[in-house]
């Protein structure tokens, strides 16, 4: 009886939050102490749906307690091509691999694709947007995929829409909302161990609400003695690289945001935030799918 009553309260609260939500992502969220206490009680009493879906999510730079609908917690099937955008040092490549494994779909990394087509690209020169777009288009799988490294410019977005088949086009963008200062600290802390071949990070970052621990060797006894850093992981190069990223990607993010196709996520706790990341992205994609089906229904009826 108690669990049944609590479920009723939860359902009512989710409806209230859905009606109040003004966010473009339309993730159903709450941030009051009531929401948090309610969720803890439900978990304690073994309410499996609530326990599985009660994840802390950070959307648009704000902490929230996610109360996603049961359909997200029970099942999720990716139906869209998703681009993962983020500055160097944000963990974009690692998060892409995690989502690829979770959703069992390919992760397409543009830098890897271009290396496979090095004979088509002049060595030592910047690759033209049209060349990148054409090479990538011909490499994409027929099934849904995650894309890392494209688009980097607004011109690439327009080329995609003009020259790619509709089924291959990106229709959802997830932006890793990590500030320049945080990324800079992580990039300057990157190390490679010449003894064990491991990649590590000697910088622990605790600024701007982010708490990212250092990543140090566990099984290697080198203790940093054999650590080296990349030649381009120096302050002036890192500054230029990050400035260029934010300058070039902001118009891209605005473009997808105005079309309701952008989710910003801030991984304040690094890899500990992966469950929250899953909950936020999957709820958002489910809601996008439902919204698109609703918009298509009148057209089908007419």
Same domain, 146 and 62: no
Same domain, 67 and 163: no
Q: Is residue 223 part of a domain?
A: no
Q: Of 44, 73, 102, which residue sits at a domain end? A: 73
**What is the tally of structural domains in the chain?**
2
Question: What gap in Å lies between CA 78 and CA 143, rounded to an integer?
Answer: 10
Question: What gap in Å lies between CA 188 and CA 233, rounded to an integer?
Answer: 6
Same domain, 48 and 26: yes
Q: Which residues partner with 207 through β-bridges?
A: 210
Containing domain of residue 125, as a range? 80-180+235-264
Same domain, 176 and 87: yes
Q: Is residue 106 part of a domain?
A: yes
Same domain, 156 and 258: yes
Residue pair 76/286 in contact (Cβ under 8 Å)? The answer is: yes
Same domain, 27 and 149: no
Q: What angle do CA 184, 171, 26 make, to 5 degrees?
A: 80
Same domain, 31 and 90: no
Taking only the tens place, the pLDDT of each residue in 52-107 is 333 333 343 333 333 333 344 446 889 999 999 999 999 999 999 999 999 999 99
Q: Is residue 302 part of a domain?
A: no
SS3 201: strand
Q: Is residue 66 part of a domain?
A: yes
Asked if the peptide bond before residue 151 counts as cis, ω within 30 degrees of 0, the response is yes
Q: Is residue 162 part of a domain?
A: yes
Same domain, 133 and 260: yes
Query: Exposure of 273 by Cβ count < 10 A (0-12 exposed, 13-18 middle, 19+ buried)?
Result: buried
Residue pair 87/178 in contact (Cβ under 8 Å)? The answer is: yes
Same domain, 30 and 173: no
Q: Is residue 193 part of a domain?
A: no
Query: According to the model, what pLDDT value does residue 122 have?
Result: 56
Distances (CA, A) of 27 to 77, 97, 98: 17, 24, 21
Q: Is residue 272 part of a domain?
A: no
Q: pTM for the whole thing?
A: 0.74
Query: According to the model, what pLDDT value does residue 75 have?
Result: 63
Query: According to the model, what pLDDT value does residue 299 have?
Result: 61
Distances (CA, A) of 116 to 110, 113, 148: 10, 5, 16
The parts of the chain modelled with pLDDT lower than 70 are 1-75, 120-126, 299-302
Same domain, 30 and 168: no
Q: Of 57, 73, 89, which residue sits at a domain end? A: 73
Same domain, 49 and 132: no
Query: According to the model, what pLDDT value does residue 66 have?
Result: 38
Q: Is residue 25 part of a domain?
A: yes
Same domain, 30 and 141: no
Q: Is the dihedral of CA 173, 174, 180, 186 positive or negative?
A: negative
Question: What gap in Å lies between CA 103 and CA 147, rounded to an integer?
Answer: 13
Nearest in space to 80 (alpha carbons), one of 157, 165, 167, 140: 167
Domain holding 257: CATH number? 3.40.50.300
């Amino acid at each position: 009886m108690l669990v049944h009553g609590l479920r009723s309260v939860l359902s009512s609260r989710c409806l209230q939050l859905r009606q109040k939500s003004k966010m473009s992502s339309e993730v159903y969220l709450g941030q009051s102490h009531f929401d948090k206490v309610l969720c803890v009680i439900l978990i304690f009493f073994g309410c499996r749906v609530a326990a599985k879906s009660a994840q802390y999510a950070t959307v648009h730079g704000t902490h929230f307690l996610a109360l996603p609908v049961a359909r997200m917690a029970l099942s999720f099937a990716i139906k869209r091509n998703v681009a993962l955008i983020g500055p160097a040092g944000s963990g974009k490549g690692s998060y892409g691999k995690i989502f690829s494994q979770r959703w069992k779909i390919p992760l397409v990394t543009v830098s890897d694709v271009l290396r496979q087509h090095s004979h088509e690209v002049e060595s030592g020169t910047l690759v033209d947007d049209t060349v990148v777009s054409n090479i990538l288009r011909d490499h994409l799988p027929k099934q849904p995929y995650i894309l890392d490294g494209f688009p980097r410019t607004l011109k690439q977005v327009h080329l995609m829409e003009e020259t790619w088949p509709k089924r291959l086009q990106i229709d959802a963008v997830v932006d890793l909302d990590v500030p320049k200062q945080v990324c800079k600290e992580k990039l300057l802390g990157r190390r490679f161990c010449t003894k064990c071949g491991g990649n590590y990070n000697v910088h622990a970052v605790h600024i701007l609400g982010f708490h990212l621990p250092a990543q140090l060797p566990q099984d290697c006894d080198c203790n940093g003695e054999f650590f080296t850093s990349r030649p381009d992981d120096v302050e002036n190069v890192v500054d230029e690289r990050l400035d260029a990223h934010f300058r070039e990607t902001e118009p891209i993010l605005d473009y997808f945001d105005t079309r309701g196709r952008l989710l910003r996520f801030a991984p304040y706790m690094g890899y500990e935030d992966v469950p929250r990341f899953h909950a936020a992205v999957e709820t958002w994609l489910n809601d996008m799918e439902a919204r698109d089906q609703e918009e298509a229904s009148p057209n089908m009826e007419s």
